Amino acid sequence: MNILIQDAKNHVGQEVTIRGWMYNKRGSGKIWFLELRDGSGFMQGVVAPPAASPDVMQAAEKLVMESSVKVTGKVAAHPKFKDVYEMQVNGIEIVHVCEEEYPISKKEHGPDFLLNNRHLWLRSRKQWAIQRVRDVVIQAVYDFFHKNGFIKIDTPILTPNACEGATTLFEIEYFDEGTVYLSQSGQLYLEAAIMSVGRAFDFGPTFRAEKSKTKRHLTEFWMMDAEAAFVEHEESMEIQESMICAIVERVLRDCLPELTILERNLEPFKKIKTPFTRLTYTEAIEKLHSLGSDIKFGEDLGNDDEGLLTQDSDVPVFVHKWPKAIKPFYMKTDPTNPELVCNDDLIATEGGGEIIGGSQREDSYEKLKAAVEKEGLKGTEYQWYLDLRKYGSVPHSGFGLGLERVVRWLTQAEHIRETIPFPRLMERVRP
Ligand code: 4AD
């Protein structure tokens, strides 16, 4: 019977076959310990007589690192470690023996070498664990949204209008229609969709031609945008913090083996509970000054500033109500101060940095029209967006969560490039 390693616990004492790869081997001609992986988990296969015939012993000897195999044997609980299973092997079918030595060995490799070999590096334990956490975060987000009345609406990637400023657009010539851009965020389209479905989210690749070589910037990253009708600034932050808690709880529930491989300290995780800290931008600047930062009012927060704001907090920190001048055209002006907007950035703990950006949207036709013009945007491309404020305009808010930023925070990956299967950075589009 073929099984997945993740199900081995249900087959103790039975003879089963696992289909996978041998990533390591120890032993001598008398006994071999095969370290096997099949994508669902890891398992040791013990190859020794009398269970293993001389032919099976020979097959084990032939296997080199990353050879693919089907291995048959009896499953046993590991004598020392709880929840660990091994196999007493009595059959080996070799699927493919590597023709050359596998390039990624146990020795230290530099980042360039690993990134050039990303197609192989993905097989490494740590990279495997990060991708599994990523998958669980995606599931958690889908479940959270569906439970809270949001439906998934797929927004376009090719767009004639900019959402997040003209400086980071990737341009494409689109037949006879002129220049279009790769989407920076599905937000504007979600705003149209919620006037039909009330609450919506999307999840897709987004693109920023960012000339930033930081550990937190990709040029292609996956964003979950969410948008909700009748939800105002404060309620939007409540949705965001509940979503982050749902993600953390799910990862703690479903990813313990992965977090163990990643040597993730679970204690800070357990402290993540609502309500998150809320600081207005003005309060944040005052706090930063008191902590020795020389940031000026009106500047964006740098990496160090974000670190200072969260260093004494067990929970992520909302910095909200930013100066209008440094934020996008669509944000709603703060009714209590026309220089500010009703927006928020959510800063993660443990050096995670900004993981969410959100805001209440301007719902007045006149004010939004003026903002489009002031920004120097091509009015005709935004007429449909302005229309939304002409026909049954409602207060509404939304936010965008950067998937890789969240995965980096949760896994404590050194660099964001490890959190996406094939990273696209300013200086890297291969493999
Ligand atoms: O703050 P941003 O730019 O917000 C928007 O795009 C809104 N339109 C979203 C919305 O309201 N629906 O981006 C949202 C999040 C950031 O908080 C960050 O997590 C992530 O997207 N992000 C990036 N992640 C990786 N690499 C980059 N270059 C990123 N730029 C933004």
* Tally of domains within the chain: 2
Question: Domain of 334: which CATH number?
Answer: 3.30.930.10
Instruction: Tell me the sheet residues that pair with 277.
Output: 317
Q: What is the pLDDT of residue 18?
A: 98
Calpha distance 325→13 (Å, rounded): 68
Calpha distance 156→135 (Å, rounded): 22
Alpha helix ranges (H) inside 117-198? 118-121, 125-147, 187-197
Q: Please tell me whether residues 171 and 291 are part of one structural domain.
A: yes
Q: What is the pLDDT of residue 105?
A: 86
Using alpha carbons, list the distances in angstroms from residue 17 to 2, 25, 102, 230. Answer: 5, 18, 25, 55
Output the CA 402–ligand 1 centroid distance in Å: 6
Residue 333 predicted with pLDDT over 80: yes
Of residues 196, 161, 201, 153, the one with CA closest to residue 177: 161
Task: Say if 103 falls within a structural domain.
Answer: no
Q: Please tell me whether residues 175 and 31 are part of one structural domain.
A: no
Helix, strand, coil fractions of the chain, as percent rounded to 5: 35, 30, 35
Q: What is the pLDDT of residue 79?
A: 87
Task: Say if 195 falls within a structural domain.
Answer: yes
What mean pLDDT do residues 59-67 have?
96
What mean pLDDT do residues 197-214 have?
95
Q: Ligand 1: which of 155, 239, 399, 405 to mutate, judged by most atoms within 8 Å of the beta carbon?
A: 405
Q: What is the pLDDT of residue 106?
A: 77
Q: What is the pLDDT of residue 68?
A: 98
Burial class (CB in 10 A: 0-12, 13-18, 19+), 137: buried
Q: Please tell me whether residues 184 and 36 are part of one structural domain.
A: no
Of residues 249, 419, 244, 252, the one with CA closest to residue 348: 244
Q: Please tell me whether residues 413 and 328 are part of one structural domain.
A: yes
Tell me the two tokens of residue 275. Answer: 């309500």
Q: Please tell me whether residues 254 and 363 are part of one structural domain.
A: yes
Ligand 1 pocket list (CB less than 6 A): 163-164, 184-185, 187, 208, 210, 217-218, 221, 223, 225, 354-358, 398-400, 402, 404-405
Q: Please tell me whether residues 135 and 206 are part of one structural domain.
A: yes
Of residues 343, 345, 338, 347, the one with CA closest to residue 359: 343
For atom 7 of ligand 1, which residue has the closest CA? 400
Of residues 21, 55, 27, the one with CA closest to residue 39: 21
Condensed to tens digits (0 to 9), the pLDDT of residues 372-408 reads 999 988 889 999 999 999 999 999 999 999 999 999 9
Task: Say if 396 falls within a structural domain.
Answer: yes
Could you tell me which residues come within 8 angstroms of residue 283 by beta carbon, excluding any fewer than 6 positions away? none
Q: Are 157 and 173 in contact (CB under 8 A)?
A: no
Q: Which atom of ligand 1 is nearest to the CA of 188?
A: 8
Residue 127 predicted with pLDDT over 80: yes
Of residues 352, 327, 374, the one with CA closest to residue 264: 352
Task: Say if 110 falls within a structural domain.
Answer: no
Q: Please tell me whether residues 78 and 125 are part of one structural domain.
A: no
Tell me the two tokens of residue 8. Answer: 């081995």
Q: What angle do CA 247, 251, 254 make, to 5 degrees?
A: 135
What mean pLDDT do residues 165-182 have?
95
Furthest-apart CA pair in the chain: how many Å?
Answer: 84
pTM of this structure: 0.97
Task: Say if 75 falls within a structural domain.
Answer: yes
Condensed to tens digits (0 to 9), the pLDDT of residues 272-311 reads 999 999 999 999 999 999 999 999 999 999 999 999 999 9
Of 34, 65, 96, the domain-final residue: 96
What mean pLDDT do residues 139-154 have?
98
Task: Say if 387 falls within a structural domain.
Answer: yes
Q: Which range of residues forms the domain containing residue 190?
A: 119-419
For atom 2 of ligand 1, which residue has the closest CA? 357
Q: Which atom of ligand 1 is nearest to the CA of 223?
A: 21
Q: Ligand 1: which of 207, 223, 341 to mutate, judged by most atoms within 8 Å of the beta carbon?
A: 223
Q: Please tell me whether residues 124 and 248 are part of one structural domain.
A: yes
Task: Say if 112 falls within a structural domain.
Answer: no
Task: Say if 226 falls within a structural domain.
Answer: yes
Of 52, 81, 96, the domain-final residue: 96
